[in-house]
């Protein structure tokens, strides 16, 4: 693989662009309009500049990395990509509509992947003309830091696709684990009920936000307590994931608690909106 395409330059997409370009790949990233594209590319440049300022990369490496990234609003510019990773909004219709337009431009051999966190990869793959070359590649936030990538396989995927994608993930310096297709895969299937349970514990008056966070940080060695992590991931993101997982499994442990729904409705989305369980004012 030489050229990686990324569709979506939001939090996850821009991280995938950065780590791919850092590992020597040419990267084409597509956003739906120039405002979103410029914002995403600016965030990548800031992240690279921070790494240079901290001495993690030389200035030349930083420049070489950014020179390997091309931004576009035109899907046709992804035509030369060997692997295209979709990292757009977690919405089935939006994803399948994108694939049907994108496949008009991709080479027949290109692999198409989704960074979905909760939709089943099977339903995404089945909507394309290349289910044997369709796979889940699930990165974790913050992408430049988190070592894990879940590779999600379906009944339809070609083993050669899995091998090529595993090689790509390894070339990024990350560790991959292979997951059979199930909503939430391995990590979110365990993490999401834990985060929802933390909200229920708080709703039921078990303890303050700070004490529940301290409990899990100091008692279990987690880098962040559940409420700091919820605010970090984004409450709207967790709410959407929980809704999708509840819909899939019909188990109450995946059901979003009322407080989470109310916070999303109130626009308290976590760090990105300045307020979530904590105030970032
Ligand atoms: N981008 C790039 N680098 C970042 C970063 C970011 N957004 N945030 C932190 N870093 C880097 C820092 O530069 C620093 O690197 P250095 O030590 O080489 O200078 C390193 O990470 C540690 O950062 P800090 O010292 O500022 O802060 P912490 O020690 O508190 O670490 C953290 C920050 C890495 C985010 C850590 O708190 C952590 O691991 N938290 C848990 C994150 C987690 O669980 N992520 C998974 C979320 S679930 C998910 O993504 C799945 C999805 O489907 C919902």
Task: Give the residue extent of every domain in the chain.
Answer: 3-179, 188-271
Check whether 281 has a pLDDT greater than 90.
no
**Would the pLDDT of 228 be above 90?**
yes
Residue 107: C-alpha distances to residues 81, 160, 183, 231 (Å): 8, 17, 29, 40
Q: What is the mean pLDDT of residues 196-212?
A: 97
Instruction: Based on the residue annotation, tell me whether 170 is a catalytic residue of this protein.
Output: no
User: Would 3-179 and 188-271 be classified into the same CATH topology?
Assistant: no
Testing ligand 1's pocket by substitution, the residue of 13, 87, 138, 145 carrying the most ligand atoms inside 8 A of its CB is 145
Mean pLDDT taken over the chain:
97
User: CA-to-CA distance for 213 and 229, rounded, in angstroms?
Assistant: 9
Q: What is the pTM of this model?
A: 0.95
232/271 Cα distance (integer angstroms) = 6
What is the CB < 6 Å shell around ligand 1? 47, 54, 56, 117, 140-142, 144-146, 188, 223-224, 229, 233
| The listed CATH number (1.20.272.10, 3.90.1150.10, 3.90.550.10, 3.40.50.720) that belongs to domain 3-179 | 3.40.50.720
Specify whether 204 is catalytic: no
* CATH class (in words) of the domain with range 188-271: mainly alpha
Residue 34 has pLDDT above 90, yes or no: yes
């Amino acid at each position: 693989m030489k050229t990686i395409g990324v569709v979506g330059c939001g939090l996850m997409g821009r991280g995938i662009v950065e780590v791919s370009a850092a590992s020597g790949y040419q990267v084409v990233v597509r956003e739906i309009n120039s405002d979103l594209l410029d914002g995403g590319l600016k965030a990548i440049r800031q992240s690279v500049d921070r790494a240079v300022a901290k001495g993690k990369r030389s200035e030349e490496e930083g420049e070489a990395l950014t020179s390997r990234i091309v931004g576009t609003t035109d899907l046709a510019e992804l035509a030369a990509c060997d692997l295209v990773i979709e990292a757009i909004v977690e919405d089935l219709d939006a994803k399948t509509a994108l694939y049907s337009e994108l496949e008009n431009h991709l080479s027949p051999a290109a692999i198409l992947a989704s960074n979905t966190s909760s939709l089943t990869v099977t339903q995404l793959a089945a909507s394309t003309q290349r289910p044997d070359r369709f796979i889940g590649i699930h990165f974790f936030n913050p992408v430049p830091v988190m070592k894990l990538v879940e590779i999600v396989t379906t009944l339809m995927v070609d083993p050669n696709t899995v091998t090529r994608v595993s090689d790509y993930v390894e070339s990024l310096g990350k560790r991959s684990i292979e997951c059979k297709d199930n909503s939430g895969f391995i990590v979110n299937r365990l993490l999401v009920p834990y985060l929802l349970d933390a909200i229920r514990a708080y709703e039921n008056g078990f303890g303050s936000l700070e004490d529940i966070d301290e409990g899990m940080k100091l008692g279990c060695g987690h880098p962040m307590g559940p409420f700091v992590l919820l605010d970090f991931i984004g409450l709207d993101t967790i709410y959407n994931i929980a809704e999708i997982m509840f819909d899939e499994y019909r188990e109450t442990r995946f059901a979003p608690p009322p407080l989470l729904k109310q916070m999303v409705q109130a626009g308290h989305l976590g760090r990105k909106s300045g307020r979530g369980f904590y105030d970032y004012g």
